[in-house]
Amino acid sequence: MALYTTVHLHNIAQGREQEYAKWFDGEHLKALSSLRGFLRAERFEVTPEQIMPDIPQPWQFMSVYDFDFSAPEIDLPALGPLIASVRDSGLIANDTAERLYSYKLFGDWKASPNYQADQPYSGMSLILGNYVAGRYEEYQEWYENVHSVEVANVPGHVAMKRGELCDIQIAPRHYCPGDQLVLCAQQTDDLMFTLRDFSARARGVSPSGIAMEPRSSAGSIARTVHYFRKVSGDRFWPGGIAYGGDLSVYQQ
């Protein structure tokens, strides 16, 4: 068995947000529960606070679907018709922005010392990233052993999981700008503080005195970062981040 995540980036037809939420929390989750390998699904809405405020934020909403598959080539495409049903009903905006990307994960969530097991998480950031050609192993080592630790230890950030674009994609297929997926979970009521300290640590000027290592040249600058707040409940994620996951704590 292996873990897979499908990210559905989309906008909702104007004035139909409540109708979409009712569909997702009712009919859609019921249908998802019958899919083989389904673990959980959550919805998020883009936040006004962004770590890269100058880049476009074309998607107001993100849904994240997690699966555990032994035969993804058989089971992953089954998600397509469920999302197609809401598209056909006109709830998804017909603005050409919708994207569906599926990734094979390197592992489940790994929590930092910031993680509070008795608290829900408040949001999730998404990076669609890339490595420099020919430097895959260097990129993975840097991200796993250095950068992921630094990022997850920023106050408000609590856990991270990563993956890479898989061969199986759900229609309608589009070019994906990043074959490396990074999802970072937050537990905070002050996201702007988190982003400011993140930026300050990266520049070596944080009041905490903590400075991040220089960014590896194996990581491509061709990446986009998007912060979202959670708008769905924890029905399929009991106890917050830790559902079925790896809670091994990053070492400082």
Spatial distance between the Cα atoms of 246 and 144, rounded to a whole number of angstroms:
14
In a domain, 164, yes or no: yes
pTM over 0.85: yes
CATH of the domain at 102: 3.30.70.100
In a domain, 188, yes or no: yes
Q: Which domain holds residue 7?
A: 2-242
**pLDDT tens across 78-125, in order?**
999 999 999 999 999 999 999 999 999 999 999 999 999 999 999 999
**pLDDT tens across 120-141, in order?**
999 999 999 999 999 999 999 9
The residue whose two tokens read 């890479």 is 164
In a domain, 249, yes or no: no
In a domain, 251, yes or no: no
Q: Which helix (H) or strand (E) holds 191?
A: helix 191-203
In a domain, 11, yes or no: yes
Domain count, the chain: 1
Q: Which helix (H) or strand (E) holds 138?
A: helix 136-142
In a domain, 61, yes or no: yes
| pLDDT averaged per 10 residues in sequence order, the chain, 252 residues | 96 97 96 97 97 95 97 97 97 97 97 94 97 98 97 98 97 95 98 98 97 98 97 53 35 30
Spatial distance between the Cα atoms of 143 and 121, rounded to a whole number of angstroms:
23
In a domain, 70, yes or no: yes
Q: If we measure between CA atoms, which residue out of 87, 89, 107, 106 comes closest to residue 97?
A: 87
In a domain, 250, yes or no: no
Spatial distance between the Cα atoms of 181 and 163, rounded to a whole number of angstroms:
5
